[in-house]
Each structure stands twice: as structure tokens, then as C-alpha cells.
Homo-oligomer: A and B are copies of this chain.
Amino acid sequence: MGKPIDIGRALAHLPLFQQLRESEISQLAAGTSEVGLSKGRILFQKGTLLDSFYAVVSGQIKLAFSSPQGNEKVVSIVGPGQSFGEAVMFLEKPSLVFAQALEDSHLLSIAKRGIFAAIDRDSAFARRMLAGLSVRLHGLIQDVENYSLHSSTERVIGFLLQLAGAPANGSIDIELPASKHIIASRLNLTPETLSRVLHNLSESGLISVKGKCITVVDVISLSQFNGMLYSLPYSS
């Protein structure tokens, strides 16, 4: 799993900890350890209690539900610089999701005690932590909105636009952050439907697809496409 990492350095790079002093970082570092995880490995199962949370240094982690019938639903795909597990850590309740590496990954495991110490010492840090959870909450609400109010095509478009980032006009190239069946699950679709939706958008001339690479021909008209959905047959 590669060479060990300078934990302090890695911590200081995380958005959450950007504004901590050197001394605070090193205190946090005392409670954090490096975790190497090779592709496919499970970090924790659904039902686990956490007394640390995780930050991704490199690689990619998926958070997902598993149903007794063996179905699986991806809730979130977490990449470098992002973190997960805070809420479960604070709550001291079993996690509803499991975490699995999509690629060989390096994580930091940051102990609760260190975080609590940082909160005690620095109320600005506490606020940043609150803001972080709020962002998470906001995202989740957006997901709920997507699942319950938007069609499959709308969800795919929304996802592409989100990947595209800033609403520039003109064309943008995007690389899907994971294999299509993972993306499909993230969007609450089967791989088959994702494929068909992509095909349709492609036929309509709005995007072109080549493996994991998608180029959005015109961001504006893609984002306006929602309005014309009624006029489209399901497949053609």
C-alpha cells in the first residue's frame, strides 16, 4: 500500500483543517492514523459504531446500503479531500451504510477525542464542523428532491451538470468518476436505464459519450432540456 504519509501534512491539506494552527494540527495528528485500503476492501460494515471519522487522501470510497435481498444502493462516492463518517461518530449509533474502496486508497482515521479537543479549544473550528455537516445535509436533501421529484433523465442531466461544475456556456468534457453501474446506483437507476438515457441524450445531440468520457456539447441547452422532456418518447 505504498510508503507512509506525513500525517500532519495530510491533515493540514484538508479543507476542514485549513485554518488550524500548527500546534493544533500536531495534536490532532496524535489521534489520527493512516489506513491503506486496497480496491474492493470494506472499511466498515453497516451497523458499525465509529469513534473516528475518515478523510480520503487518495483513491475513492463508496458509501452504500445493502439490502437483505443483496441489492446495493450507492449513497455517496467520496474522493480525495473529502471526508465521511462524522455524523455516525457524533451520534454514537450504528452506521446505516457500509464503506468500500472503489480503488486502492489512502485514508486518515481521525479520532473523536482529537476532534472534541479541537472543538473545546477553538470555537471557529466547531463552526466549521457545523458548516461541514450542513453541507452534507444540504446534499442529502437535494438527493431526496431528485429521487422523489425528478425523472431518470432529469437525474442524469443534473448529475452531469454537477460534474461540469460552474455553469459555463459552450462545451465541456467530463470524466465519469466511477464505472457506469456505480453511477447508475448513485442515481437510483439500473445500469440498463442509465445506458438508455445516455443514448437518448446522445441521439438528441446534447452530449456525446465515449466510455467514461462525456462531452456536453452545450451546457445551457442541456440544462434547459428538462422543460422539453414531455415531448420525448421513452426510447427511440
Contact = CB atoms under 8 A, between A and B. Distances in A.
Interface of A: 65, 67, 71, 73, 75, 86-88, 90-91, 93, 96-97, 116, 119-120, 123, 126-127, 129-131, 133-138, 140-145, 147-149, 188
| Copies of the protein in its oligomer | 2
A127 B119 CA distance: 8
Given A126-B119, A140-B141, A148 B91 contact: no
A119 B130 CA distance: 10
A20 to B, nearest CB: 15
Nearest to A91: B134
A209 B180 CA distance: 45
A236 to B, nearest CB: 23
Contact of A96 (B96, B127, B145): B145
A90 B130 contact: yes
Contacts of A119: 123, 126-127, 130
28 contacts: A65-B145, A73-B149, A75-B144, A87-B134, A87-B137, A88-B134, A88-B138, A90-B131, A91-B135, A119-B126, A119-B127, A119-B130, A120-B123, A123-B123, A126-B126, A126-B130, A130-B130, A130-B133, A133-B133, A133-B137, A136-B137, A137-B137, A137-B140, A140-B140, A140-B144, A144-B147, A147-B147, A148-B188
